[in-house]
Amino acid sequence: MPIRESDDVVRVRQAVRVQAVAAGLGLVDQTKIVTAASELARNTLDYGLGGTVRIETFTGNPRRGVRLTFEDNGPGIPDLERALTDGYTTGGGLGLGLSGARRLCNEFEIESVVGQGTRITIARWK
Amino acid sequence: MEDGFAALSKIVSERESEIVAHWRQLLVTASGGTGRIKDAEVEKQCRDFLSAFAAGLGAGATVATDPAFDSARELLGGVSQSRANQGFTPTETATFVFSLKEPLFEQVRASYPDDTARVASLGWDMTQILDQLGLYTMEVYQRSREDVVRRQQDEIAELSTPVVKLWEGILALPLIGTLDSARTQVVMENLLQAIVDQSADLAIIDITGVPTVDTLVAQHLLKTIAAARLMGADCIVSGIRPQIAQTMVHLGVELDVVSKATLADALALAFQRTGRTVVRKAVAKG
Amino acid sequence: MDRIPILKLGRALLVSIQVDIHDRLAKALEEDLSERIVATGARGVMIDISGLEIVDSFMGRMLDNIAAVSRLLDADTVVVGMRPAVAITLVELGLSLTGVKTALNVERGMTLIGSGQYEEIEGDDAPGGGDERDEG
């Protein structure tokens, strides 16, 4: 689904919630993945200048959960190491978006090419 | 010359009753007559397995993983699983398949009284296939035991998290035993939920019964206290052992924790915080 | 919904956020609140978030900002009714909202705002035990 405007962030949160419930995640796990999705969706909007998110559930044994892939064609992140540090921000925020989202997930992968865009994949399972 | 497996299949179906009788006898002896499984049930298991086994062999299956053995494997899986759940040992469980060798071999010998070469080759085929099925039995057994352990872990986690109400608005969480990360998480979620359910401003986490705390668990504790604060409740930790105090100091985050030596001290503090005084009155002897 | 309603209750302002709101609405609330504090001379601001299923870093920052602005305008901020799962997640995220007071529900929040201002005497139902409590 697309992330083009501020309302889309709300829509992403709601869609992720639905999928997390469907995957059978507990309330705390649901809240964590939805919050992480909210952070990353806002990043996609603010830093990636818009993009998309793909929401998938997986029910393989023994893990059940949700996997999200955020993609944008924005300017990319020049220094991943620093971008993942608590408190580091280029946009006047708290600098907890990326690093916080990583703590809320079981799986976190980030690829970014300067000038081409960023792809972040996260997953939460029980 | 007739295919070995087809020949085995024929022997099994033609001499089923002899095999079952002998096999059952062996199973009873092996189990030491404990009678944990009813005789009739054992007989049914034996018969069912033998016919599925014969059918599989007859359909041309030569290895245990062959689809023709699907129903035989399924039966074995059921037997193995139920035995695992009933607390049978691995040996007792594997004996079910392995003890089939002797009666089956005997019938093979009886079928070809004058052909030792044939008996030897059929015996070899039979051993091969039964060994594979035996290993399969053990796999299922192992998996079932793991399920049992996992279920028990969940149950323990549930049982060992009693949040008790000490007073109006004051909760206590007496933790006992080693805390691993998973259990701590369950405990903490329960505590926070209880805080909401009972509108408690104060929660006492008593860790007198906790022998050691690793870094991860200490972090969980601190996170819970922070989460409780966000919800509008304060936590008091009581009964910290010296070792645990050191772990917490090494973490460098001990400053935010209100800590009391004993649960009683913590309760006294909780009373004080909520504006209560305990007054001793003279008790008139009746 | 263009604006989140701000209610006046005595000398306190009450805001109840019941649904997932988008960032612009949150920003608008931040601005509205500071104006209303000055206009009403409120001494306390209470934000009820019991209806919120998540609080992310943006919303967390908004709560922190409201508290900081209110403090400058001489009003206390109390966030009430945060759900357990939300609280756990916020802590994991790395936000502790240290500048914000918290309470379990609106009733307790009112007490908290009141006690900061008027030194009210509460629960004084034990006239016999009037001496100071022992120091823990």
- What is the per-residue pLDDT for C132? 42
Q: Which fold has domain A2-125?
A: Heat Shock Protein 90 (3.30.565)
Tokens of A19: 């999928």
What does the pLDDT profile of chain A (126 residues) look like in tens digits?
999 988 899 999 999 999 999 988 889 999 999 999 999 999 999 888 989 999 999 886 668 899 999 999 989 888 888 888 887 787 766 777 888 899 999 999 999 899 899 999 999 998
Summarize the confidence of residues B84-101 as an average pLDDT: 85
Interface test with C, best of A12, A18, A38, A43 (most C CBs within 10 A): A38
Cβ pair C97:B230 closer than 8 A: yes
- What is the per-residue pLDDT for A119? 93
- What is the per-residue pLDDT for C36? 92
| Strand ranges of the sheet holding A117-125, from the earlier edge strand across to the other edge | A2-3, A51-58, A65-72, A117-125, A107-113
Q: Using an 8 Å Cβ cutoff, are C61 and A94 in contact?
A: yes
- What is the per-residue pLDDT for A67? 93
Q: Is the pLDDT of residue C35 over 70?
A: yes
Q: Quick: pLDDT tens for B32-51.
A: 656 667 778 888 888 888 88
> CATH number for the domain including B27?
1.10.490
Q: Do B93 and B168 share a domain, yes or no?
A: no
Residues of A in contact with C57 (CB under 8 A): 39, 93-94, 96-97, 100
CA B6-B10-B16 angle, 5° bins: 140
> Is B171 a member of any domain?
yes
pLDDT tier, C50 (very low <50, low <70, confident <90, very high otherwise): very high
Cβ pair C58:A42 closer than 8 A: yes
Q: Do B205 and B127 share a domain, yes or no?
A: no
The ipTM, to two decimals, is: 0.86
Q: Do B62 and B122 share a domain, yes or no?
A: yes
Residues of B in contact with C63 (CB under 8 A): none
Summarize the confidence of residues B163-172 as an average pLDDT: 92
Q: Quick: pLDDT tens for C109-131.
A: 988 887 654 444 444 444 444 44
Mean pLDDT of chain B: 85
Q: Do B62 and B178 share a domain, yes or no?
A: no
Share of chain B above pLDDT 90, in %: 19
- What is the per-residue pLDDT for C127? 42
The 8-class DSSP code of residue C129 comes to: G
- What is the per-residue pLDDT for A89? 80
Q: Using an 8 Å Cβ cutoff, are A70 and A123 in contact?
A: no
Segments making up each domain of chain A, as ranges: 2-125
Q: Do B9 and B145 share a domain, yes or no?
A: yes
- What is the per-residue pLDDT for A16? 94
C92 touches chain A (CB under 8 A): yes
Phi, psi of C95 (to 5 degrees): -105, 130
- What is the per-residue pLDDT for B34? 63
Cβ pair B196:C123 closer than 8 A: no
Is B193 exposed, middle or buried, given 0-12, 13-18 or 19+ CB atoms closer than 10 A? middle
Q: Is the pLDDT of residue B151 over 60?
A: yes
Q: Using an 8 Å Cβ cutoff, are B245 and B261 in contact?
A: no
Q: Do B136 and B171 share a domain, yes or no?
A: no
d(CA A19, CA A25): 9
- What's the total number of domains in chain B? 2
> Is B173 a member of any domain?
yes
Q: Is the pLDDT of residue B254 over 90?
A: no
Structural domains for chain C: 6-118 (3.30.750.24)
Q: Is the pLDDT of residue B70 over 50?
A: yes
Rounded to a whole number, what is the distance in Å from the CA of A20 to chain C's nearest CA? Answer: 13
Q: Name the one residue in this structure whose structure tokens are 């209470």.
A: C46
| Domain region containing B183 | 164-273
Q: Do B110 and B229 share a domain, yes or no?
A: no
> Is B282 a member of any domain?
no
Q: Is the pLDDT of residue B255 over 60?
A: no
Q: Is the pLDDT of residue B227 over 90?
A: yes
pLDDT tier, C70 (very low <50, low <70, confident <90, very high otherwise): very high
pLDDT tier, C67 (very low <50, low <70, confident <90, very high otherwise): very high
- Chain A adjacent subunits, 3+ CB pairs under 8 A: C
Summarize the confidence of residues B146-167 as an average pLDDT: 82
Cβ pair B189:C91 closer than 8 A: no
